[in-house]
Amino acid sequence: MNTSKNHISSLKWLHLLFGAGLVITFFLPWVVWKEIKVSAYHMAAGSFFQISESNFKLGNPFPQFAFTFYLFWLIPVLAIITIVLISQNKKTALIAFLPGAMTLSLVTVFYLFTNTLVDLGVGNNALSMLQPAAFISIISAAGFILTAFPTKGWLKKLIWLVIGPTLAFGAYKIGESSVMSETFSDTDDLKADYIVNASDLIREFAANDSAGNNKYKEKILTVNGIVSEAMVNSDSSVNIKFVDTAKYFINFPLEKHDYERTKDIKPGDVISLKGSLSGSSYSMILDSTSIDFKRSTLNKTKF
């Protein structure tokens, strides 16, 4: 009898420890993107994608669902409620399962999104960019689920362990596929709203950034110029840059289906690209402004 009580007592203390781990790590950095520290708190506060977009030009592809991020505040709130309940010898299973599963799903999103940033040239390895707090949160979440009271029902606990990461992975990949397929399949056939020289476009934005955005944003542009930088990404897409001033540059991410036509583009090549101008954004890290395009395609190799 004493052995059983001691076992239950030990599980309670472990449960309290894991709960405290969930709360504390929620506010600690989970990942570092080029010296920018990002925590779970930033997702719940709605600034996760703002940080990414302002510094790396990768924003929320579905801003209409941004309000759902506030649900992640349930992680520390429910963890604290569970700690209170367990201290009063009450059942904690369901309440503990939710913050545990949500934490595991959020870590999954952090890793997948960081891996996407790596594909865009931000860092070399997503796993190495994860911080100790992210791994501690994984251990805390798993432990919080497994030590929830009552201690029976191991199959249910195992299901809760995998449901969060599985749903997060599936939703992320569906969203990624949706974004990747969001292209102008007939871009080559569309008439450009404007045909501009890359240097002229850069200078126009440098002279008046707001006016440039008001004039060109979401318009189809044909941009002719000399390539300043050509980067082949690990996902078989190609990124083209036109640079004219130290503070402004044009950024053209080309789609994977254009890989065979674009993989051999190199600095100094004279090319023509077509795409939809998504707007300009300033990066504090680079101290420069990027004029970004989307749904882009190679128009022709010379003009």
The pLDDT assigned to 254 comes to 80
Query: Is pLDDT at 219 greater than 50 in this prediction?
Result: yes
The CA-CA-CA angle for residues 62, 56, 131, to 5°, reads 95
| Residue 29 contacts residue 100 (beta carbons within 8 Å) | no
Confidence of residue 15 (pLDDT cuts 50, 70, 90): confident
Query: Is pLDDT at 233 greater than 90 in this prediction?
Result: no
Higher pLDDT, 105 or 180: 105
Cis peptide before 61 (omega within 30 of 0): no
Query: Is pLDDT at 178 greater than 90 in this prediction?
Result: no
- Delineate the domains of the chain, giving CATH numbers in brackets: 2-180 (no CATH), 187-300 (2.40.50.140)
Residues in the chain, overall count: 303
The pLDDT assigned to 185 comes to 47
In this predicted model, what pLDDT tens digit does every residue of 257-302 receive, in sequence order?
Answer: 777 778 888 899 999 998 888 888 887 767 788 898 887 888 765 5
Query: Is pLDDT at 188 greater than 70 in this prediction?
Result: no
**Cβ-based neighbours of 26, under 8 Å, separated by 6 or more:** 39, 40, 41, 44, 75, 76, 103, 137
In this predicted model, what pLDDT tens digit does every residue of 82-114 receive, in sequence order?
Answer: 888 887 777 777 788 999 999 999 999 999 999
The pLDDT assigned to 184 comes to 45
Query: Is pLDDT at 2 greater than 50 in this prediction?
Result: no
Determine the Cα–Cα distance for residues 66 and 45; give it in Å rounded to an integer.
10
Tell me the average pLDDT of the chain. 85
Confidence of residue 4 (pLDDT cuts 50, 70, 90): very low
Amino acid at 177: S
Question: What is the CA 247 to chain-centroid distance, rounded?
Answer: 25
Question: DSSP for 101-158?
Answer: HHHHHHHHHHHHHHHHHHHTTS-S-HHHHB-HHHHHHHHHHHHHHHTPSS---HHHHH
Confidence of residue 1 (pLDDT cuts 50, 70, 90): very low
Judged by DSSP in three states, 275 sits in strand
1-10, 34-43, 86-95, range with greatest mean pLDDT = 34-43
Query: Is pLDDT at 183 greater than 70 in this prediction?
Result: no
Contacts 24+ apart (CB under 8 A), 150-158: 150/91, 150/93, 151/8, 151/11, 153/93, 157/97
The pLDDT assigned to 186 comes to 54
Mean per-residue pLDDT, 156-170: 93
Determine the Cα–Cα distance for residues 181 and 178; give it in Å rounded to an integer.
5
The pLDDT assigned to 181 comes to 58
Q: In the chain, what percentage of residues exceed pLDDT 90?
A: 40
Verdict on whether the full-model pTM lies above 0.75: no
Query: Is pLDDT at 192 greater than 90 in this prediction?
Result: no
Mean per-residue pLDDT, 4-22: 77
The pLDDT assigned to 116 comes to 87
Query: Is pLDDT at 303 greater than 70 in this prediction?
Result: no
Confidence of residue 204 (pLDDT cuts 50, 70, 90): very high
